[in-house]
Each structure stands twice: as C-alpha cells, then as structure tokens.
Amino acid sequence: MNVEFFIAKRMLKNKKHSKNFSSAIVLISILGIVLGVSVMILTISVAEGFQKEIKNKLMGFGSHIQIENLQLSNSNETSPIIRLGHNIDSLEKDDNIIAFSPYILKSSIIQHNRNDQDYEITGVVFKGVNQSSHFLQKYLTEGVIPNYSTESDSIILSRNMVKKLQINIGAKISAFFITNGKPKQRNYILAGIYETGLDKIDDQYGFIDIKQLIKLNKWGFKIKALSNFTNDSILKLDLISKSNNGEVLYALPNGEVSDKKEHYFNIKKDSSFFIIGYEIDNKVDKNLISLPDTLLININHLDKEISFDNIEGSGQFYTGGYEVSLKNYQNASVTLETIKNHFGPEYYITSIEERFIDLFSWLNLIYQNVYIIILLMVGVAIINMSTALLVLIVEKTKMIGILKSMGISNKSLRKVFVYHGGILLFIGFAGGNILAFSIMLLQNKYQLLSLPKENYYLDSVPMHFPMTDIIILNSIAFIVCFIAMILPSLLSARISPIKAINTEI
C-alpha cells in the first residue's frame, strides 16, 4: 500500500473528520452518487425490459422473418404458396434457423347473436396456424388452445374483441368472408381468449385452424368418391368431385385419363390402387388450376370393406406464408439475405422490424432517453464529488501545510485527495448498485410499480438484469468520475505551507 493511499484511508477513518462540517457535505455527496448510480442502472434495466418484453410479444406473434407471395398479397390477406419445390429442408440446415411455420391470413367480419334481434359485430384478421404456438401458450388468459393438428372449428380471439362482442368461452360465432368475390359464412366456437396488451395485435388478430382457411379459400383439390360392390367382384366407383373454376380429369390405374365420373373395377383379392385427379381450366388448354390430388383406395375383398386415403387433399401442400424462427436475431440480416436469394424476387420477405416499424421506432427512442439520463447522472456524480473534495481540501488546509513542510510533493498530495475521492466514489457506486438491484428484485417479485397497459403495452414496469451493460456502465462511469477528481485536487498544490499551518478552520 503506497503512502498516498494510506493517508487517504486515514482521512476517511479520522473520528474528528466525522464531526466536522465536511462530514455532512461528504455524506450528501455519497448519497447523491448512490441515487445517481441507482437511477442509471434502473434506467438501463427498464429500457432493456421494455425492449425485450415488447419484442418477445411481436416476435412470438410474427416470428423473426415472414415470407409471403408478392402477387395479390396485402397486410390482411395472403395469396397461396405451393409448399412443394421450395426445398425448405436445405434452409433449415442453416445454424441460425430453427423452423419454418406455415400460416394464412384472411379478413373477416364476426358476429354474435345475443338474441333474435340484438347482435354485435367486429372485424378480425384470422391467422391460420397448424399447431399450438408458444405465443398462444404464453398469452392465453382464458379457455384452452384447440388441437389444430386435426381439423377444428374452434377459434381464439383477443380480450378486446370478446369485450366488443360481449361473449364468453363456448359462445358460437358467425364469421363472414369474401372468397373469389362471393360472400361465405362459417360458424365457429370460441375456445380461448388471449391478451398481449399490444393493441396492434389485440384489436386485429384472431387464431383459427389453417385447414379451415385452406378449405375456405378453395386452395388445392380433393377427389371425392362413392363406392360399392355390384356383385362379388365388380367394384363401382363414382367420382363426384367438382371444380369451382374449371373441369376435372382423372388418371386411372390402367393409364387412361378420363373425365368420366363412373368407373368399374374387377376385384378378385385384397387390393390397393391410385386415382389421380387434375383440376384444369378447360379440356383444350388443360392448364392446371391447382395441385393434383391422389386418392388411394384400399379394398378388403373378403369383407367387402373399402377405405379412401386422401383426408386433406392437395390443399395440405398450400400455405399463405412462412414464419421463420431464428436462434439469434442479431444475425437476422444475414439469414434474411440467404432466404431472399433462395426464394427469389417473386416473394415478399420481411423481418419483424419491417412489419412493426412504428413499435420498433418507439423502442429505439427509449434508448435515446437512456443515454441522456446516463450523461446527466454522471455529470451530477462528478459535481457531487468535486464539491465534496473541494470542501475537504479547504478543511484540510492545515494538514496540507504540515505535509508540504515535511517534504511531500505536489503530485503525491494530489494523489492523496484523488485516492480519497476514489474511496468515496467506490462507496457511492457500491451503495447505488445494492439499491438498484434491491429495487429490481422487489419489482420483479411483487410488481410494485404498475403501468396503464393501454399506453405502455405492459401492466407493470419491466426490470431485466442486463449484466454486461451494467458492468460496462459501472466501469466507464467510475473511471470518468475518478479522472474528474484530478481537477479539484490541483487546488491542494496551490496552498502555501506557511499560510496553511497558520490557518485555523
């Protein structure tokens, strides 16, 4: 331990010092640093909390990257994308990509009849999903998440929509859609209610089985058939499929392509065979309207049992878009370019920041305020410690004179007061960190500080623990304040030893 640091410690432990006028000034300065440091840490904690909580909501709803068909797509409805041929498996080998999730968006007006004459309506954009997402599991506040792995007529609406419709779980909902220029009505059951606090999501989106929207949009084609045995070995097959916008051709097991509906097959044993159905615009051009469907027919000859295997038809190979989940969003720009190069210019590929640019801009503004607050608090800490050090120098004028008369150099004298200020700074910074972390822990456990959700999208102040940022902040702020102690310490070098010894304070 060098001499200057030893003297600085002795000044701090001096009992007489604690009874002097300077003790109150030093105490106030330390308390000011404690409050300043705690405010800086809490500011970063709250800013990081807002950033992460709201980003998690947005990314949970829309994932990190969205892929849609550029043709005819808008913010409320998606155009069909054929899932075959994109070779998504090769993209999923990318270390930063977790999964591709298909989805469909479709606008609707939903209505609930409370009685024969009174009803409530509201608009909604249904998001068709094929499985229970982490987003729904996290933000579901009432009811259950339907099993969307099998076709379901259950839907999930936001609490805002439920209030408008004045309904509860289990209520029957009538939904009205426009498909191919024609109105369509479908009836659903309310299975769950979600709430994020983000009006941009809660006021607009509901969730539905993706298969419901594929069927509603008439994407794909499905072969429908009736069958029976006319005698012991002759199977009659009636193909009753209809095309909405064209005609249907069938590729039969013998290689023949026909538009006939009625066919006979001689079955003498257990058999299985395929029939492929093509939906075309007309018999002359024969342009495909949708993906062909394959009907697998299984026959148990002995029991005369017949089964068909094309439950979903070719609609299962359609989607309105993909949501791409990433391991590390910091590398999203690189992954975004990779996906764009893979899919090509005919697809609209965007990041979540581009989709919700207004909310992300608001989040970025929060950090601008953080920088201003940190600069102000560092300035306050410097002023507090400089004031305390100047008071100490004035009070210790006689001691300075004695030390100078004993031969201490001006440089060493400055070090004494800089070290003394550093010790006080350390006490203030330690106290500030303890106070800040205590408040953060209490807030996270008891939610003492609440917020109006309609204004801030959260019902309580979020406080996270960005340890790397906190350590960097403490280090830089302490170094800046410590260096700033050099300026007031220069005053000690200007004091005359003779005058200082004769001074009474």
Degrees (nearest 5) of the Cα angle 351, 352, 358?
120
| Confidence (pLDDT) at 418 | 76
Query: What pLDDT band is residue 360 in, cutting at 50, 70 and 90?
Result: confident
| Confidence (pLDDT) at 312 | 83
Percent of the chain with pLDDT over 70: 86
Query: What pLDDT band is residue 302 in, cutting at 50, 70 and 90?
Result: confident
Q: Count Cα neighbours of 205 within 13 Å in the Cβ-side half-sphere.
A: 24
Strands 154-158 and 172-179 come out as unpaired
**Is residue 25 in a domain?**
yes
| Confidence (pLDDT) at 505 | 45
The per-residue pLDDT for range 167-184, each reduced to its tens digit, is: 999 999 999 999 888 899
**Is residue 62 in a domain?**
no
Compute the distance between CA of residue 120 and CA of residue 125 in angstroms, rounded to an integer.
Answer: 17
Compute the distance between CA of residue 503 and CA of residue 505 in angstroms, rounded to an integer.
Answer: 6
Compute the distance between CA of residue 111 and CA of residue 181 in angstroms, rounded to an integer.
Answer: 20
Question: Same domain, yes or no, for 434 and 467?
Answer: yes
| Confidence (pLDDT) at 18 | 45
Mean pLDDT of 118-139: 87
Compute the distance between CA of residue 490 and CA of residue 485 in angstroms, rounded to an integer.
Answer: 9
**Is residue 349 in a domain?**
no
The residue count for the chain: 505
**Is residue 322 in a domain?**
yes
**What letter would DSSP give residue 253?**
T
Give every CB contact of residue 116 below 8 A, 6+ residues apart in sequence: none
Give the Å distances, CA to CA, from 297 to 144, 159, 275, 437: 37, 46, 8, 68
Contact call for residues 298 and 310 (beta carbons, < 8 A)? no
| Confidence (pLDDT) at 390 | 73
**Model confidence at 237: pLDDT above 70:** yes
Question: Same domain, yes or no, for 450 and 373?
Answer: yes
| Confidence (pLDDT) at 366 | 81
Compute the distance between CA of residue 404 and CA of residue 198 in angstroms, rounded to an integer.
Answer: 67
The per-residue pLDDT for range 468-479, each reduced to its tens digit, is: 999 999 999 999
User: What total number of domains does the chain contain?
Assistant: 3
Q: Name residue, tokens 């999964």.
A: 99
Higher pLDDT among residues 419 and 333, named by residue: 333
Mean pLDDT of 407-434: 80
Give the Å distances, CA to CA, from 210 to 8, 102, 131, 491: 73, 8, 9, 76
**Model confidence at 195: pLDDT above 50:** yes
- Nearest CA among 134, 59, 126, 84 for reference residue 359: 59
Which of 22-26, 235-239, 301-305, 325-329: highest mean pLDDT? 235-239
Compute the distance between CA of residue 188 and CA of residue 152 in angstroms, rounded to an integer.
Answer: 9
Q: Could you tell me how many helices (H) and strands (E) the chain has, helices first?
A: 17, 20
Contact call for residues 249 and 259 (beta carbons, < 8 A)? yes
Higher pLDDT among residues 71 and 117, named by residue: 71
The lowest-confidence range among 228-232, 234-238, 400-404 is 400-404
Question: Same domain, yes or no, for 257 and 307?
Answer: yes
Which of 26-30, 326-330, 393-397: highest mean pLDDT? 326-330
**Model confidence at 378: pLDDT above 90:** no
Question: Same domain, yes or no, for 468 and 375?
Answer: yes
- What SS3 state is found at 498? helix
Higher pLDDT among residues 126 and 83, named by residue: 126
Mean pLDDT of 268-279: 92
- Of the residues 251, 286, 311, the one at which a domain ends: 311
Higher pLDDT among residues 413 and 213, named by residue: 213
Q: What is the CATH number of the domain that holds 279?
A: 2.60.40
One-letter identity of residue 99: A
**Model confidence at 494: pLDDT above 70:** no
Query: What pLDDT band is residue 245 in, cutting at 50, 70 and 90?
Result: confident
Give every CB contact of residue 42 below 8 A, 6+ residues apart in sequence: 436, 439, 440, 463
The lowest-confidence range among 7-11, 88-92, 267-271, 487-491 is 7-11
Question: Same domain, yes or no, for 423 and 374?
Answer: yes
**Model confidence at 249: pLDDT above 90:** yes
- Max distance between CA atoms of the chain, in angstroms, equals 131
Sign of the dihedral defined by the CA atoms of residues 53, 58, 59, 65, in that order: negative
**Model confidence at 108: pLDDT above 90:** yes
Query: What pLDDT band is residue 238 in, cutting at 50, 70 and 90?
Result: very high
Contact call for residues 318 and 291 (beta carbons, < 8 A)? yes
Tokens at 50, concatenated: 């807002």
Higher pLDDT among residues 8 and 411, named by residue: 411
**Is residue 350 in a domain?**
no
Question: Same domain, yes or no, for 88 and 188?
Answer: yes
| Average pLDDT over the chain, rounded to an integer | 85
Which DSSP string do the residues of 300-358 spell out, in sequence order?
ETTTTEEEEE-SSGGGGGEESEEEEEES-GGGHHHHHHHHHHHH-TTEEEEEHHHHTHH
Question: Same domain, yes or no, for 212 and 116?
Answer: yes
Domain extent for 265:
225-311
**Is residue 124 in a domain?**
yes
| Confidence (pLDDT) at 19 | 46
Question: Same domain, yes or no, for 325 and 305?
Answer: no
Question: Same domain, yes or no, for 233 and 303?
Answer: yes
Compute the distance between CA of residue 325 and CA of residue 336 in angstroms, rounded to an integer.
Answer: 11
Degrees (nearest 5) of the Cα angle 352, 356, 359?
120
Question: Same domain, yes or no, for 203 and 299?
Answer: no
Give every CB contact of residue 135 below 8 A, 6+ residues apart in sequence: 60, 61
**Is residue 490 in a domain?**
yes
Question: Same domain, yes or no, for 187 and 232?
Answer: no
Question: Same domain, yes or no, for 100 and 244?
Answer: no
Mean pLDDT of 244-256: 90
| Confidence (pLDDT) at 7 | 52
Query: What pLDDT band is residue 104 in, cutting at 50, 70 and 90?
Result: very high
- What SS3 state is found at 157? strand
**Is residue 351 in a domain?**
no
| Confidence (pLDDT) at 187 | 94
Compute the distance between CA of residue 202 and CA of residue 74 in angstroms, rounded to an integer.
Answer: 19
The per-residue pLDDT for range 200-223, each reduced to its tens digit, is: 899 999 999 999 999 999 999 999
